Amino acid sequence: MPWSPLPYHQEPPDPVPLRESIDRVLAGLGAPTVDHIRTIHDRWDELVGTGVADHAQPASIEHGRLLVIVDDPAWASQLRWTEADLVRRLEAVLGAEVVTSVVTRVRRP
């Protein structure tokens, strides 16, 4: 018996842009949109200051928690002390509830 596609009882759905599909998957994983992630990376120096940005990099966001990897425990302490300010700056750029807290981890050599 030759192959034939299943009959449609209605018109097939229109294609969905890839960004929408990725954003839906990210939301299901508790992550923000692609645009939010890009904004954080693009504006990181502005958000934390160049001195901090040289030693700390955003790694991931899950359920509102921004994970930042630092190269020394002193920078982890710096980010903990300024967490409330950083969350306010992120909220001003991204909107409410995208990033609600910051967690730091020291990168081991």
User: Other C-beta atoms within 10 Å of 83: how many?
Assistant: 16
Q: Which residues contact 97 (CB under 8 A, 6 or more apart)?
A: 64
| pLDDT tens digits, 13-58 | 788 888 888 888 888 887 888 889 999 999 999 999 999 999 999 9
| pLDDT range class, residue 12, cuts 50, 70, 90 | low
Give the per-residue pLDDT at 29: 81
DSSP reduced 3-state for 91 = helix
Range 13-52 burial, b when 16+ CB lie within 10 A, else e: eeeeeeeeeebeebeeeebbbeebbebbeeebeebbeeeb
- To the question of pTM greater than 0.75 for the whole model, the response is yes
Q: Name all domains of the chain by residue range, CATH numbers in brackets.
A: 18-106 (3.30.300)
Nearest to 56 by CA among 106, 4, 93: 106
